[in-house]
Structure 1
Amino acid sequence: MTASSMTASYIKCHLRWKRLIFLLCLGMSTIFFWMTTTWSTKTVLPPCRPFHALCRAFLSASDNQTEWRRRDCQIKSYLTNNTLQCSKLMKDLHFITRPLSAEEEAYPLAFILTVHKELEVLIRLLRAIYTPQNIYCVHVDAKSPPEYKASVQKLVSCFENVFLSSRSETAIYAGFSRLKADLNCMSDLVTSKVSWRKVVNLCGQDFPLMSNLELSPKARDLLEWSRDTYSPDEHYWVTLNHLTEAPGSNIAGGWEGSIRAIKWKDQTGKQHNGCNGRYVRSICVYGLKDLPWLIKKESMFANKFENDFEPEALDCLEQWHRNKLLSHTSVPIEPSWLLATRSNSEHAIA
């Protein structure tokens, strides 16, 4: 072997070793980067917000010293990530996955949710009222941001009985378009395969309980008349609910009822003791100190909450509602249905 060939062989061998070392270092660096990134992602996630001390009286029937711990609470992250596993979402976000009683299974309901913001509040509302025998129509305001619409679309795609309204309105506060949004969902619900018995509107000031969507001539006339009125969704449903001809009507009921608890600013000292949160358009956004009034009120729904204003109030009320829901069920409770656990028992509820 000549000196020149030996030199070439040495150089080739040397380059091969350098390449192997480089690839080894690159691989180790990649693994280290992945581990560091994964570790960092896990550690920077904020821990679950603890329950406020004022919640203890509501969450424990006999012992207000019980410590409740919230479980997985990174709600929005399930919809903002690029990948979405629906089975994981339903389990990790604690959705009820089967009817809680034979009576509820035999009496399915239809729900209309008209939304335009507050993604996390929407998710928490849906999981509070969700059961698989019901059906849910979600109307997203046409002027909502594209990213909000995309997140809601992701959410409803995980459920066979939740869908977006086929037509989206640009809802204007106190305008007819707000009522039209509800009617769009009602038109969709008429064609549903679910034999729902009554429909529940969760975004207007009223809470109609109707066995079907067929309107009498009087209702059609009222609808036309409502086009030019101020905030028609506030009077249309409650008026229909008092017509003799309307299915499921409540003739004897007054304007005030037990459908939705609202603290109107001009009703301070008359219907309630004042808002402990803040007023938005003369409606109280509830704070923690409003919870005793809400629970004592025993209304069907409360309006309203915001995720960025005293979120501890919604935390507490949500857990109180889930505890009551599961305490009345006639089926075995699945661990994934628990929003929080008590420190002295992993599977106990109040």
Structure 2
Amino acid sequence: MMVYKEPEQLERLLRAVYRPHNAYCVHADLKTKPDVLQQIRAIIKCLPNVIESPRQIDVKWGKFSVLEPELICMQALWRMRSKWKYLINLTGQEFPLKTNKELVKILTAYKGANDILGERPKERNKWRWQKAKSPPPHNITVAKGPVHVAASRGFVDFLLHYSYARDFLAWTKRTAIPDETFFATLNNMHQFGVPGSYTGNITSKRRIMLNRFKIWDTSNRTCSGKFLRNICHFGLAEVADLSRSRHFVANKFSYDFYPLAYDCTEQWYFDRVRREEKTGVADIDTRYYSNLELVKHAYRGSAGNGP
């Protein structure tokens, strides 16, 4: 979980997603105000399987510092005793749209596939990689996609411990906006034996990502909250769409200026949790998820079986 403000949102997010058998890592930006950091650390100390990131990074947009905290937390989570099967990297301004039981059923239907979007970069984006002044190692073809992922344990193992991933990471450090390159490219490197990676047509319009619900200002969709840095911070009108969505997590909420949207989404979520507790059943049909392109075309061979 990447946070830098609003400790109340972190507390409420943890209340929604926390389970004793899972593992959680929280990274607070180095720029976080001391009083806010104190509150964040107090929340972390309440729960035995929630850890603080071993290092704080001064996160700056477009720099490696956006990706670095993700990798630090991945390493810390890998060392924990919990043998988690999937990793979802959250931020403090998000909220789940699927209960823990629903997510377990969905990710079981994924059968090790990664929910990570990666597309061929447009011409206007290629300046990012030209800054490296050398081509990617191992003739790797670069892809572009969001930093937000739902990644299998095997994928995390590969990116932390295999030389292809380490070499590519070293190259991305010399590029611009590496957080939109590293995960997206790795997930299209099935020929290198990346667990759960995508083996299908990278340009397929049927390929979608469901780990996040976002509204961009380029999407021709309205935002009853407000667009900030090109993305919608949800207002009340979006809550109905969120409640019907097949996505895992909503991004993003700003409690300081649209608290009702957050409150209503939280109420809807816990109503679902209470129904589950009453019936003992997660009311979700996973056939839709089983038939996704990312599931049908996932690499499930030997890890690291590269060229």
Aligned to 1:261: 213
Where 1:262 maps in the other structure, the secondary structure is: coil
1:128 partnered with 2:74: no
Q: CA deviation at 1:290?
A: 1.2
Aligned to 1:300: 248
Alpha-carbon displacement from aligned partner over 1:151-170 (angstroms, at most 9, x marks no partner): 11111111100110111111
1:236 to 169, 172, 182: 182
Q: Which structure carries more relative contact order (alpha carbon 8 Å, separation 6+)?
A: 2
Aligned to 1:249: 197
2:151 to 189, 198, 209: 209
Q: How many residues align?
A: 217
Where 1:261 maps in the other structure, the secondary structure is: coil
Q: Would you say the 8 A contact 1:142–1:168 is kept in 2?
A: yes
Q: Would you say the 8 A contact 2:147–2:183 is kept in 1?
A: no
Q: Would you say the 8 A contact 1:200–1:209 is kept in 2?
A: yes
Q: Would you say the 8 A contact 1:207–1:259 is kept in 2?
A: yes
CA 205–256 in structure 1, closer or farther in 2 if over 3 Å, else same: farther
Same amino acid, percent of matched pairs = 34
Report the RMSD for the aligned CA atoms in angstroms: 2.2
Query: What's the TM-score, normalizing by structure 1?
Result: 0.58
Where 1:260 maps in the other structure, the secondary structure is: coil
Where 1:267 maps in the other structure, the secondary structure is: coil
Q: CA deviation at 1:251?
A: 3.2
In 1, Cα distance between equivalents of 2:260 and 2:224: 13
Aligned to 1:221: 167
In 2, Cα distance between equivalents of 1:318 and 1:243: 37
Q: Would you say the 8 A contact 1:208–1:237 is kept in 2?
A: no
In 2, Cα distance between equivalents of 1:205 and 1:179: 8
In 2, Cα distance between equivalents of 1:331 and 1:139: 36
Aligned to 1:139: 27
Structure 1 stretches lacking a partner, 5+ long: 1-112, 333-350
Aligned to 1:188: 76
In 2, Cα distance between equivalents of 1:243 and 1:314: 37
- Where do 1:67-106 residues align within 5 Å? none
Q: Would you say the 8 A contact 1:135–1:194 is kept in 2?
A: yes
In 2, Cα distance between equivalents of 1:121 and 1:240: 31
Q: CA deviation at 1:172?
A: 0.7
Aligned to 1:149: 37
Runs of 4+ in 1 over 4 A off after TM superposition: none
Q: Would you say the 8 A contact 1:208–1:238 is kept in 2?
A: no
Q: Would you say the 8 A contact 2:243–2:268 is kept in 1?
A: no
In 2, Cα distance between equivalents of 1:124 and 1:313: 14
Query: What's the TM-score, normalizing by structure 2?
Result: 0.65
Q: Would you say the 8 A contact 1:278–1:284 is kept in 2?
A: yes
Structure 1 stretch displaced more, 127-136 or 249-258: 249-258
Structure with max Cα Rg: 1
1:169 to 43, 51, 57: 57
In 1, Cα distance between equivalents of 2:71 and 2:46: 24
Structure 2 stretches lacking a partner, 5+ long: 92-145, 281-307
Task: Name the aligned partner's letter for residue 208 of structure 1.
Answer: A
In 1, Cα distance between equivalents of 2:213 and 2:147: 9
Q: Would you say the 8 A contact 1:241–1:249 is kept in 2?
A: yes
Q: CA deviation at 1:330?
A: 7.2
Q: Would you say the 8 A contact 1:201–1:208 is kept in 2?
A: yes
Structure 1 stretch displaced more, 313-322 or 189-198: 189-198
Where 2:87 maps in the other structure, the secondary structure is: strand
